[in-house]
Structure 1
Amino acid sequence: MRFYNNYIKPLYFSRRFYWSLAVVIALFLVSYAWPFLFRIGQLAFLFVAVVMLLDYVNLFFNRKGVTAVRELTERFSNGDENKVQLVLKNHYHFRVHLKVIDEIPIQFQRRDFELSTSLAGEEQQRLVYQLRPVERGEYIFHDTNLFIKSPLNVVVRRIKIEQEQMIKVFPSYLALRQFELMAHSNNLAEAGSRKLRKIGHSLEFEQIKEYVTGDDIRSINWKATARKGGQLMVNNFMDERSQQVYCVIDKGRVMKMPFEGMTLLDYAINATLILSRVALIRQDKAGLLTFAEQIGHFLPADRKAAQMGNILEALYNQQTKFLETDFEKLYALIRSRVTQRSLIVLFTNFESLAGLQRQLPYIRSIARSHLVLVVFFENTELRQLTEARANDIESVYVKTIAEKFIHEKKLMVKELQQHGILTILTAPENLTVNTINKYLELKAKQAI
């Protein structure tokens, strides 16, 4: 995206100018005691004035001076480093020194952001910097300010280039591409996913092929072997396809908790995006459901080509709510709209056993018709408190309370497992890998 330049050209003076002026004033003051310095002061003042005039002419009589065009990608990836480029062009015939203040979006809260460089005469240069957003939504870049100094370094010319640009910050599609390539190459282990031994055969027969070392001898097709005159032939099976995988995201206040600048909702959204893509690559159908005190967005499971784009657009502007989530409405929607047995991956968070028990009847009701995987989060700061050394009574009290809450999280896992509900308790940074591992494990066990 490019917007060309409108110029506003105020004048500033450099530190060199003020130091030179201070020397001239000092000469005039001292000349009261030594009159011969008065003439030197006059000559020094004249010299500073001539240099200033010459510097002004050099900088301001070239209309363009230095131009800058900001180049952005079509969208930013949330939680990742995103590249921003400024294409600078020096239209002077001499070297200039630049201080560049690019007015980056307010969401970054950086008031001291500036870049420095120098350009030879007629040189063009790309100035690159990185930005890491931690919120989804619309980000607006404003003007680019250039402060230009010539080699004389007396006058500073400011050029304000008006190039307001809006860019959308989407869930982490950079991580999505990484997992997508690995899923296509069956090399998800590089991202931390475990390789799992398949248990038994899938229900979907693919073909009969010649036996090679390593094939399961239990798959030998003896009739086909007889027809081939003794060449061993085996039945080849493929993973069962077209299973429905729904990612269900809780947008209530429990998902507002921050971790390394991002909310738990953002981690859940990034994991949903990647899990949906892996499921589609594995020929399953991916769907999406968001909810809080009301049902948010419902996208029926499908494997059509546009499904990933639909999921990305749906996740782009989801925000947490500050009310208690209504699991009863979630159960009612799933019961009426999701009629085929599916894998329901529920991203939520519980901070107390009582909070889980209030919602457990609805989760159990969903689990009667579907395979439910509840994913919730460890409080990593509590873990740090338990590992810290207690040196006084207050520290002992804080450490004890932290251990109590950690133990309660483990009790929640046991409570869910006792009712036959699959569970992942994970740190936010490990959420994506742990969720994909569980999905692959369930596929290998043919549990879906």
Structure 2
Amino acid sequence: MRFIKDLYLSNRFFTLLISSGVLFVVAFFIPILYGFVKAAFAAFMVLTIVDYILLFGQRHGFFARREMAEKLSNGSENEIYIYLENHFPFGANVKIIDEIPHQFQKRDVLFLESLKSGEGKAIRYWLRPVKRGEYEFGAINVFVSTVIGLARRRYHFEQGKTVPVYPSFIQMRKYELMAISNRLPELGIKRIRRIGHSSEFEQIKTYVPGDDTRTINWKATARKGSLMVNNYQDEKSQQVYCIIDKGRVMQMPFEGMSLLDYSINASLVLANSAMIKGDKAGVITFSNKISSILKADKKPVHLQHILELLYNQRTQFKESDYEKLFANIRLNINQRSLLVLFTNFESLAAMRRQLPFLQQLAKHHLVLTVFFENTEMEELLTMRPANTEEVYLKTIAEKFVYDKKLIVKELNQHGIHTLLTPPAKLTVNTLNRYLEFKSRGLI
């Protein structure tokens, strides 16, 4: 049955078969052509048999396997490799169909390749998941044909595999590597000069233009014969908490990914950066109740705990309860900390409902409220209205944008720091604000 089940006839076969039928009809009216048509049909059948024998005469004529990372990174391009090996004694044309997880909603992952006898080849492509969770890969289907091309043999390589999709650790590693190589400005991270200094002395170094003249060490200057200054480092072991709102306001998608997943990815990068800076990082998630609290720490193993906690976040996008959030923070966080709240306010009324709780938090902690610009409105804001309906739509869009600016102004008036950012620039802008707070000695 395998020789029948794995046999697929090509379009070329059916084209020649139909052409043969047409020629036989023509030969019925022109008998002199009958012999030629009969010979051509016989040659066609012989070629089909030869093609079949070449394809099925060898049991293991072709091999394929898929290789990928043990876990995929959410919101990032993940590399997938398919390795091909042709064991036939002749060159082969192949069509590869990879059964990727249904979450991608793609049915066109198809590749066409040609391999010589004994040749191996690697196909590389990328997948960008937009939701956390488990993704199930299926088999690799390879359809092999010879140069004759009348038949194809299917190889079905069972490579079913379930792969977890974690918060964007690729993005986290990228920022980490850039920080190590001192290339963060390439990603949009600003170099911020420290204002004043902390009480933690680091070293004495040679004066360079721009250094604070108040830190000149006159004794070291007298010994060296050149200006020397005291260098101070940022205070360490400060607590940084990423507080993620999992309520309905975070369900809105941009470029296929929800605001919740954007916030989770940014929280992972911020927590890792804070730990590199010597600070302690923690995570709190909430919606209608407190979902999880991970106490701030800076041990190397703590980053893995953060990654696992963020991966396992599930929500029904219910109404968020800020009163419970305030009560739990007062109960569990005693030291003054930086609280980075990832949420979204679409109207002044929505913000004012939560303002009393944010004000109470700001009395005891440094609060940074991060919410999002609606980048989907950019087209409405820049268009030239052609009719009454478009005038109405543009007016509504401008009102939404203006309300966001009013929210920022009102929060700032109550001593609450704000960050209004496009979802795509969330990580960069949040890191910049954290570094700004460090440079100003606010934490």
* TM-score, scaled relative to structure 1: 0.94
AA in 2 matched with 1:216: D
Per-residue deviation, residues 96-137 of structure 1 (Å, max 9, x unmatched): 101100001101101222111011011111111111111111
How much has 1:182 moved relative to structure 2? 2.5
Which runs of 5 or more residues in structure 1 are unaligned?
Answer: 1-5
Superposed CA RMSD in Å reads: 2.0
2:189 to 190, 193, 198: 193
2:118 and 2:146 mapped to 1: Cα distance? 14
2:102 and 2:51 mapped to 1: Cα distance? 35
Match status 1:293 vs 2:295: no
1:336 to 328, 331, 340: 331
In the TM superposition, what are the counterparts of 1:196-345 in structure 2 within 5 Å? 196-209=192-205, 215-222=211-218, 228=223, 233-345=228-340
How much has 1:344 moved relative to structure 2? 0.1
In the TM superposition, what are the counterparts of 1:149-164 in structure 2 within 5 Å? 149-164=145-160
How much has 1:64 moved relative to structure 2? 1.1
1:426 to 397, 405, 421: 421
1:262 and 1:47 mapped to 2: Cα distance? 57
2:226 and 2:432 mapped to 1: Cα distance? 38
Match status 1:69 vs 2:65: yes
When structure 1 is superposed on structure 2, of 72-81 and 300-309 the one drifting more is 72-81
The structure-2 alpha-carbon separation of the partners of 1:370 and 1:63, relative to structure 1 and needing over 3 Å to count, comes to: same
2:380 to 378, 385, 403: 385
Per-residue deviation, residues 164-206 of structure 1 (Å, max 9, x unmatched): 0111112222221221122234442221122222211112122
How much has 1:224 moved relative to structure 2? 5.5
How much has 1:231 moved relative to structure 2? 6.5
The structure-2 alpha-carbon separation of the partners of 1:39 and 1:350, relative to structure 1 and needing over 3 Å to count, comes to: same
In the TM superposition, what are the counterparts of 1:31-42 in structure 2 within 5 Å? 31-42=27-38
Contact 1:208 1:234 in 2 (8 A): yes
Q: How many residues align?
A: 442
Name 2:440's counterpart in structure 1: 445
Contact 2:238 2:279 in 1 (8 A): yes
The structure-2 alpha-carbon separation of the partners of 1:214 and 1:397, relative to structure 1 and needing over 3 Å to count, comes to: closer
Name 1:435's counterpart in structure 2: 430
Match status 1:365 vs 2:360: yes
AA in 2 matched with 1:307: H
How much has 1:352 moved relative to structure 2? 1.2
Contact 1:9 1:157 in 2 (8 A): no
AA in 2 matched with 1:219: T
1:435 and 1:7 mapped to 2: Cα distance? 60
The structure-2 alpha-carbon separation of the partners of 1:212 and 1:256, relative to structure 1 and needing over 3 Å to count, comes to: closer
1:268 and 1:403 mapped to 2: Cα distance? 25
The structure-2 alpha-carbon separation of the partners of 1:229 and 1:238, relative to structure 1 and needing over 3 Å to count, comes to: closer
AA in 2 matched with 1:413: V
AA in 2 matched with 1:270: N
Contact 1:7 1:160 in 2 (8 A): no
Per-residue deviation, residues 303-342 of structure 1 (Å, max 9, x unmatched): 1011211111111232342210111111111111111100
Per-residue deviation, residues 368-388 of structure 1 (Å, max 9, x unmatched): 110000000011122331221
* TM-score, scaled relative to structure 2: 0.95
1:342 and 1:60 mapped to 2: Cα distance? 70
How much has 1:41 moved relative to structure 2? 2.8
Name 2:78's counterpart in structure 1: 82
Name 1:3's counterpart in structure 2: none
2:408 and 2:287 mapped to 1: Cα distance? 22
Contact 2:3 2:56 in 1 (8 A): no
Contact 2:250 2:317 in 1 (8 A): no
2:98 and 2:77 mapped to 1: Cα distance? 17
Which runs of 5 or more residues in structure 2 are unaligned?
Answer: none
2:366 and 2:224 mapped to 1: Cα distance? 46
Contact 2:281 2:297 in 1 (8 A): yes
The structure-2 alpha-carbon separation of the partners of 1:7 and 1:29, relative to structure 1 and needing over 3 Å to count, comes to: closer
Contact 2:369 2:419 in 1 (8 A): yes
AA in 2 matched with 1:14: S
Match status 1:395 vs 2:371: no
Per-residue deviation, residues 66-108 of structure 1 (Å, max 9, x unmatched): 1101011122122221111111111101011011000011011
2:109 and 2:209 mapped to 1: Cα distance? 61
1:74 and 1:255 mapped to 2: Cα distance? 29
Identity of aligned residues (%): 53
